[in-house]
Amino acid sequence: MKLVRREKPLADYAATLERELELLCEALPSGMRVDAIHWGGGTPTSLNDDSLANLTAKIRKLFNVSPQAETAFELDPRTFALARARDLAALGVNRVSLGVQEFDAKVQAAVNRIQPFEQVRDVVNSLRNANICRINFDLMYGLPFQTVETLEATVARTLVLRPDRIALFGYAHVPWAARRQTQIDAQTLPGLEARFNQAERAAGDLIAGGYRRIGLDHFALPADGLAKALDDQTLMRNFQGYVADTPSTIIGVGSSSISCVPEGYVQNYSETGAWRRAVESGHLPVQRGYVLDKMDRMRGEVISHIMCFMYADLGQISQKHGFCASVLDEEMAICRKYEADGLVAVNSRALQIPERGRPALRLIASCFDAHLDQETSRHAIAV
């Protein structure tokens, strides 16, 4: 959910969310079961307790929420009042993601995100004391002034707090798309080799600390559902990241939110005013959508297998979707150019990515994305 500050706009936003939920209930088949609820896309705790309680009650009134449903929240440690942990638990929240990024003070100052280790530690302790024990951390490499040493120190402190899952993302400097990044001096950013070294050293430290490596950029404790899904070959990756299983339908609520339905994808109006006007007029606030065809679904499964399992049998997947085994031979030939560097092994129509090729998973998977402009894409850093 995309949120803004100030009490009155937030209250109005929450009221519009409630109305959108009512419209969704009218449009969807009755009796649909909700297995997971995710509050994110901003800082949901910007909403006050009454708004959160009202929205939660509305969801449970309108939809068949499973008693075992996972309810996840994204939190900003800088603005989270520790006393609210028990309020979240009372709302059924059982997983929380914290945007940590990096604990080094100089790096934090450069990205205007000051949150000392002690502050994050106190948030984690308050959540666990409230019996919210599933904790995720988002860490980053490639930040301004960041070094291998600062990131390793961050990982060491992370290991002390021992979250269940860790996402290790690379910072993408796209000031033309994110205005706030115009304040960051590009000269302070680490180069490609430094980014690679940061990512690999951090990954090695996490593995040495007892975490399983999941796909491209996630890590999980062995008992966590992601690690079990990897072993069971049920791991999936969608637009939200790696998940233990992917439901057939993901419904996004709020401005700019994205929904995934069996037929394809739809997105709400990104401009809050347009979103609100549509809802107030009694219409679902959908701005655009894309209908998947058979080829899209087949390519999506290939990409998912590469990103999750570092392996894909192109012939088998193609035939499963009703195509001839050779339909992706042209794309497979493109992948072969990475064989010389040891990033991929091609055997007949099966791709195997060795550990050396893990950092290039996104690059290899992109060979099968028919909608990606390989020549003009501006955001093409693989590491």
Q: Looking at residue 138, what is its pLDDT?
A: 97
Domains belonging to the chain, first-starting first, are 7-243 (3.80.30.20), 294-368 (1.10.10.920)
Give the rounded percent of residues in the chain with a pLDDT score beyond 90: 83
Length of the chain: 383
Measured at the alpha carbon of residue 249, what is the angle toward residues 139 and 16, in degrees to the nearest 5?
A: 80
d(CA 3, CA 55): 14
212 forms beta bridges with 220
**Overall average pLDDT of the 174-195 stretch:** 91
Which of 83, 120, 81 has the alpha carbon at shortest distance from 99? 120
Q: Which residue has the higher pLDDT, 133 or 245?
A: 133
**DSSP class of residue 259?**
E
Question: pLDDT band at residue 9, thresholds of 50, 70 and 90?
Answer: confident
**Overall average pLDDT of the 37-41 stretch:** 88
d(CA 17, CA 23): 10
Q: Looking at residue 179, what is its pLDDT?
A: 84
1 has pLDDT over 80: no
d(CA 140, CA 273): 33
Handedness of CA 142, 143, 149, 150 (dihedral sign): negative
Q: Looking at residue 2, what is its pLDDT?
A: 43
List the single range of 22-26, 158-162, 270-274, 374-378 with lowest mean pLDDT: 374-378
What pTM did the predictor assign? 0.92
Q: Specify the pairing of strand 95-101 against strand 134-141.
A: parallel
Q: Is 258 exposed, middle or buried (0-12, 13-18, 19+ CB in 10 A)?
A: middle
Q: Looking at residue 248, what is its pLDDT?
A: 81
Q: Which residue has the tokens 């192109």?
A: 314
Question: pLDDT band at residue 357, thresholds of 50, 70 and 90?
Answer: very high
Model pLDDT for residues 100-127, shown as the tens digit of each residue:
999 999 999 999 999 999 999 999 999 9
- DSSP conformation letters of 30-75: TTPEEEEEEE-SS-GGGS-HHHHHHHHHHHHHHSEEEEEEEEEEEE
Model pLDDT for residues 226-278, shown as the tens digit of each residue:
999 999 999 999 888 899 977 789 999 999 999 999 999 999 999 999 999 99
Q: Looking at residue 72, what is its pLDDT?
A: 95
Q: Looking at residue 378, what is its pLDDT?
A: 43
Average pLDDT over the chain, rounded to whole? 93
